[in-house]
Every structure is written in structure tokens, then in C-alpha cells.
Amino acid sequence: MVAKVLDFGLSKKLPLLDDTHASTGVKGSFGYFDPEYYERRQVIPKSDVYSFGVVLLEALCGRLALEMSVPNEESNLAQWAKYCHKKGKLEDIMDPNVKGEIYPNCYRTFVETTMKCLNKTSIGRSSMGDVLYELELALAIQKDPEESPTYVMTNLGGHNIFSDVSGYS
């Protein structure tokens, strides 16, 4: 039993006395599903990374993953945010309470981390460990933007390597 953000295993229907089988379908909420899940019908560890990326967007934008009270193209937060990010306008959909409080380098780190989580394919997503590291880096930048080290991430053989480049010009 491994917990998944996407696979709410405890919500599976148990058989009644006259039922002959239990439901084994993946349960979850639309807006958080990994796009690859629709193709493979298989939950993998990086499915959680995608779902967590949606949660990060909710925190950044101050809105739900699916919002039916907005125009159709804006209703799916992940798709809308990726579109806005591509156009360089993600700041336009940020929660105004966050916008005035986040340092630019922290914002940049947080957004890069979030967008990696939302990569359409699992190969392009960070591991949850890398996401944690990147979020800790964003927090360090927010706490002390003057003293925060500058890290560059390089992907070598499927593993992300972080290098401190603060002393280099």
C-alpha cells in the first residue's frame, strides 16, 4: 500500500454481500490527473509529481485546479498556467496577495519547479526529491535574498545535479 496523490485507494468501493467484485479503478479529482494516465491507465510515482505541481499552482494563483466560473480556456488551471507561462504572462494570474510578497528569484525558482512538475511526460518531470530540494531553495531565497546561493540544475543521465554558481561571474 503506497499512498498516491492521484490514487485514493481507500476510496475504492468494497463489495457488498451480493457483489462479486470490488472496484479497482483509480479515483481522483479532475484537474490533478497526470496527462499520461489517460494514455496508459497506469499510476506511476511521477503522477504524484504532476498532481503536486497543480497544488503548487493553486497556492501561487489562489484558485482551484478546475474553475467553471471563468472562460473555458481558463477553466483548467494547469493548462491555463502553462499557456500563460509560455507567453511570459504567468504573473498576470498570480494571487495578488502573493505577487507583492515574493522576491523575483524566489518566484522564478518556484515557477521553474512548478512547470517541471507539470511536464506532459513523466520523463521531463523532476523526482519528488528534486521538487522538495528546489522548493527548499526557493524558501531560502525568500527568507534571505541577499545571501542565498545561486544554483544551476543540470540533468545527467536522468538525475538532476545542482551546482552552486554564486561565486562565478
* Any domain includes 128: yes
The answer as to whether 10 is a domain residue is no
| Per-residue confidence (pLDDT) for residue 168, from 0 to 100 | 42
Structural domain of 72 = 29-164
Between 111 and 14, whose confidence is greater?
111
pLDDT digits (tens, 9 = 90+) for 47-77: 889 999 999 999 999 999 999 999 999 999 9
Q: Measured between alpha carbons, how far is 107 from 103 in angstroms, rounded to an integer?
A: 6
Using the 8-state DSSP alphabet, how is residue 110 labeled? H
Domain presence at residue 146: yes
**62: CB partners within 8 A, 6+ apart:** 94, 95, 96, 97, 98
Establish if 109 belongs to a structural domain.
yes
Query: Rounded to whole angstroms, how far apart are CA atoms 68 and 81?
Result: 16
- pLDDT of amino acid 10: 40
Question: Which one has a higher pLDDT value, 112 or 147?
Answer: 112
Q: Mind listing the pLDDT tens digit for each residue in 26-43?
A: 556 778 888 888 777 777
Give the lowest-confidence range in 22-26, 49-53, 118-122: 22-26
Domain count, the chain: 1
CA atoms of 140 and 68, how far apart (whole Å): 36
Q: Is 153 helix (H, G, I), strand (E, B) or coil?
A: strand
Q: What is the pLDDT of residues 128-163, one digit of tens each?
A: 999 999 999 999 999 987 776 555 555 555 555 555
Task: Decide: 58 and 78 in contact? Cβ < 8 Å.
Answer: no
CATH code, domain carrying 69: 1.10.510.10
Q: What Å distances lie between residue 120 and 36, 53, 55, CA to CA? A: 7, 12, 16
Residue 7 belongs to a domain: no
105 within a domain of the structure (yes/no): yes
Any domain includes 58: yes
Residue 43 inside a domain? The answer is yes
Cell matching residue 140: 531560502
- Report d(CA 148, CA 106) in Å as an integer: 10
Phi-psi region of 88 (alpha: psi -120 to 50; beta: other; left: phi over 0): left
Nearest CA to 59 out of 110, 8, 109 is that of 110
pLDDT given for residue 106 in this prediction: 92
